[in-house]
Every structure is written in structure tokens, then in C-alpha cells.
Amino acid sequence: MLFERLMSGGQGSQPTAKPTASQTERPGEPAFVGTRSVAPISAQTLSIEGTYWLVSRTLPDGTVLKPPAIIGVLLYTKNERGYNIVQNDATGKLNWDSNWSIYTLTATEYSSIPRNTFHFVQQDGKREVHIGVKVTPRTPVKLEGGRIQFIDINYHAFSQVFEGTRMTATAPNDSPEFSGIVDVWEKVL
């Protein structure tokens, strides 16, 4: 069903989600997008588990892509992380970025080991696949109140900030392919 939703541009037979009392509906965004109160995080409650939908991707020129122009799902279980992002590039070619990793998150460090990583580009009916990082990078974790921040080398070295139900991922300025890109994800499950 997820693949069908990705390939249909995000359109599915799912009923429209309604905001809860703690969420606010915003014009132009799915009804499930909203804000919630943020509680301080301790080492005992440190968790980023959940399913996140890509709400938007801002490109370096300021262009904002939203579904169905770009579709993404990000899943964090207790110790595994996977994402799929599908979009057509400026020439109409299909791009599919996918990664599944085992991760460890502590109050001081984030690390991940890729299990399966590829970047698929449709080009003249042929597939071009790029294999990702093969090391176990470790990066520091910064905790502030209800905010968790770290860099995930296996997510193109994006800096990730988790706050409430939202995760914002920002590409490093020196990234040849992703420099200046900002992805906004919303936790839906």
C-alpha cells in the first residue's frame, strides 16, 4: 500500500485526517500537521520512534516542494531507521532515495550502520543505482528541553532536529548533491 501511495503521488483512499484538540489546522498542509506541547527530554525518555511523512522540501533557490511533487516516509523503530523519498527531477526523471539502517541513540551520541542504501534514478529506461556509506559514523547528540539534534551520516549528513511531532532535516552546505535543502517531516504514528 505504501508503494502504491508513493507511486500515485501520495493520493490514496485513506480518509482525511482531522486535527486533534492539540493540533492546529494550517491552510495548504495535511490536516494531521500541527503543533503539540514539548516536554523536556531525559536520558530515560529519549526516543524518536515513530512514522513520519514528508511535509515539504525547500530547495536552495527557495522553491518549496510538497506532496504530490515529492513523497516521503521515514520510520524509526526502537533501533532501526528507514526512509524512502520519491520525486521527479526537473527533467521529469524519477528519483527514489532509500535507506535502511540500524541506529543507536543515547543522550550523548547517535550512530547508524546501513543495511541497505540506494539512490535510484530513472534514465532512458535504465536504472542508475548508487550505494551509500559503508561505515558506522558516530555523531554527538545535543539535547535542549524537548529538542533532540544530531547529524545522520547515512541520511546524506543532514542535521536532524526532533521537536514535538516535527523533525527538520537540513543538508550540510558542502554537500555536492543536497546543499541548502531542508526537509520537514511530521510524526503521524
Q: Return the residue matching grid coordinates 546501513.
A: 114
pLDDT in tens, 92-114: 777 888 888 889 999 999 998 88
Domain that holds residue 45: 2-187
Q: What CA–CA distance (Å, rounded) separates 34 from 104? A: 28
pLDDT of the residue at 63: 92
Strand bridging mode 70-76 / 147-152: unpaired
pLDDT of the residue at 55: 98
List the chain residues with pLDDT less than 70. 1-45, 116-136
C-alpha cell at 86: 520519491
pLDDT of the residue at 120: 58
Q: What CA–CA distance (Å, rounded) separates 148 from 188? A: 18
Q: How many domains does the chain have?
A: 1
Q: Do 72 and 86 form a contact (C-beta atoms < 8 A)?
A: yes
Strand partners, 127: 122
Q: How many residues in the chain?
A: 189
The full DSSP string for 111-130 is EEEEEEEEEEEEETTEEEEE
pLDDT in tens, 106-139: 999 999 888 765 555 555 555 555 555 556 678 9
Percent helix, strand, coil in the chain, to 5, is 5, 45, 50
